[in-house]
């Protein structure tokens, strides 16, 4: 079989519409909130369902490693970048529609996967729709937020989901009802090889003043508790016993600076990329925190951010580095 690398331009490029883009060796740092990450071997920006199906069938036929990137706000990507194909959904997947089965009080929105959470919350505010305010301040896309079951202030997106639409690795369209998906703490049962294209959420009509007040209070809460700068939000999931940030503070690491990166002195569960830190430095810092917290408290912290790539070689390399910490 011909190597996919040799034919990707000749075959795939020709089968896609002009609105989708196939790009080679694109630095992923510009696509992540950490501003870290080496080159995507190929980055394909997709702007139609038909093109998405074509790309997924090509990936499947040649068994190509692939990754779907949203706003890159929960990712720590290796400085070596990602092999294979990175898929990003473009502007055609950015929309919000009110579905006709909405009633006087209840409203169902169909939202494209590349719509940002900020766009959703602003739309809801402007149309007096309530129930999505808790998403305010989470810098992701709707697709990434569904996949991660993003949440804050004691709510998560799973509570609002009615349906999720996607394309599987063979290019087939699928829809999943809420009760067919397990929504857990910052994860779902949606398989990694399904590209979420859109979803429906159920909200209700509310009072604009109350919606605005809620958003203002969330803005203040975030401003007072979270640092500015390049980060991916909370690095660790909160264990049942203590918040991860408190544990990190308890072991004396709050404010610790490490080669261009640092543990925020405002919120110890944030690692900030202050001065062009490498992925490895952030990774080492994560290991230092884990080792110290486990030694002092016996609690093993689990990463909330996703570290990429997930291949065996990289894990071996990372384990080696871990042993040096």
Ligand X SMILES: Cc1cc2nc3c(=O)[nH]c(=O)nc-3n(C[C@H](O)[C@H](O)[C@H](O)COP(=O)(O)OP(=O)(O)OC[C@H]3O[C@@H](n4cnc5c(N)ncnc54)[C@H](O)[C@@H]3O)c2cc1C
C-alpha Rg value of the chain to the nearest Å: 21
Examine residue 263 and tell whether it contacts ligand X (CB under 6 A): no
Parallel, antiparallel or unpaired: strands 106-112 and 96-98? antiparallel
Which one among 47, 141, 238, 273 touches ligand X, defined by CB under 6 A? 141
Six-digit token string for 218: 């969330």
- Does residue 74 interact with ligand X by CB under 6 A? yes
Nearest CA-CA partner of 58 in 212, 167, 132, 161: 167
Q: Phi/psi of residue 245, each to 5°?
A: -60, -40
Among 141, 226, 187, which residue's Cα sits nearest to residue 305?
Answer: 187
SS (H, E, C) 261-323: EEECCCCCCEEEECCCCCHHHHHHHHHHHHHHHHHHHCCCCCECCEEECCCHHHHHHHHHHHH
Shortest approach of ligand X to residue 67 CB, angstroms?
6
Helix (H) or strand (E) holding 212, with range, is helix 208-225
CB of residue 22 vs ligand X: minimum separation in angstroms?
18
Q: What is the DSSP letter of 10?
A: I
Residue 148 makes contact with ligand X by CB under 6 A: yes
Tell me which residues in 86-115 interact with ligand X (CB under 6 A).
Answer: 89, 113
Q: Contacting ligand X (CB under 6 A), which of 37, 131, 143, 158?
A: 143
Does the footprint of ligand X cover residue 145 (CB under 6 A)?
A: yes
Q: Rule CB under 6 A: is residue 47 a binding residue for ligand X?
A: no
DSSP 82-118: EEEEEEEE-GGG--EEE-TT--SSEEEEEEETTSBHH
Q: Which residue of 70, 84, 112, 199 would you call a contact of ligand X, by CB under 6 A?
A: 70
Per-position x/- string for 171-190, each x denoting binding to ligand X as judged by CB under 6 A, each - no binding = ---------------x----
Residue pair 94/114 in contact (Cβ under 8 Å)? The answer is: yes
Q: Which stretch binds ligand X (CB under 6 A): 119-127, 138-146, 282-290, 292-300?
A: 138-146
- Contact flag: residue 69 with ligand X (CB under 6 A): yes
- Selected from 72, 81, 171, 245, the binder of ligand X by CB under 6 A is 72
Residue 152 binds ligand X (CB under 6 A): yes
CB of 229 to ligand X, least distance (A): 9
CB of 195 to ligand X, least distance (A): 5
Whether residue 58 contacts residue 4, with contact meaning beta carbons closer than 8 Å, is answered with: yes
Among the listed ranges 37-45, 134-142, 212-220, 250-258, the one in contact with ligand X (CB under 6 A) is 134-142
CA distance 45 to 42: 10
Residue 66, both tokens = 């692939």
Is there binding between residue 68 and ligand X (CB under 6 A)?
yes
- Least distance to ligand X, CB of residue 277, Å: 15
Size of residue set near ligand X by CB under 6 A: 31
Regarding 196 and contact with ligand X (CB under 6 A), the answer is: yes
Tell me how crowded residue 96 is: count the other CB atoms within 10 A of its CB. 19
Binding region for ligand X (CB under 6 A): 33, 67-75, 89, 113, 138-141, 143-145, 147-148, 150-152, 186, 195-196, 231-233, 306
């Amino acid at each position: 079989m011909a190597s996919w690398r040799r034919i990707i331009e000749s075959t795939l490029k020709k089968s896609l519409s002009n609105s989708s883009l196939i790009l080679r060796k694109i630095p992923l740092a510009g696509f992540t909130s950490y501003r870290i990450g080496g080159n995507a071997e190929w980055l394909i920006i997709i702007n139609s369902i038909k093109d998405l199906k074509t790309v997924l069938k090509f990936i499947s036929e040649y068994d190509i490693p692939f990754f779907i990137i949203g706003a890159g706000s929960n990712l720590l990507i290796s400085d070596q970048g990602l092999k294979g194909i990175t898929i990003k959904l473009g502007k055609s997947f950015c929309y919000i529609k009110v579905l006709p089965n909405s009633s006087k009080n209840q409203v169902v929105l169909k939202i494209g996967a590349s719509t940002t959470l900020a766009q959703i919350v602003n739309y809801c505010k402007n149309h007096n729709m309530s129930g999505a305010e808790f998403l305010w301040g989470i810098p992701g896309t709707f697709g990434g937020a569904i996949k991660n079951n993003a949440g804050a202030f004691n709510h998560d997106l799973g509570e609002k989901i009615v349906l999720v639409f996607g394309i599987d690795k063979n290019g087939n369209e699928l829809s999943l009802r809420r009760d067919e998906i397990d929504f857990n703490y910052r994860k779902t049962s949606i398989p990694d090889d399904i590209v979420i294209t859109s979803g429906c959420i159920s909200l209700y009509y509310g009072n604009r003043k109350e919606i605005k007040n809620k958003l203002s209070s969330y803005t203040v809460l975030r401003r007072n508790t979270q640092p500015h700068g390049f980060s991916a939000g909370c690095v660790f999931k909160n264990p049942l016993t203590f918040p991860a940030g408190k544990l990190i503070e308890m072991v004396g690491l709050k404010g610790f600076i490490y080669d261009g990166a640092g543990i925020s002195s405002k919120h110890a569960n944030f690692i900030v990329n202050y001065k062009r830190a490498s992925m490895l430095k952030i990774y080492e810092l994560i290991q230092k925190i884990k080792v110290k917290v486990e030694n002092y408290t016996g609690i093993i912290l689990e990463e909330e951010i996703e570290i990429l790539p997930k291949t065996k070689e990289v894990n071996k390399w990372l384990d080696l580095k871990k042993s040096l910490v």
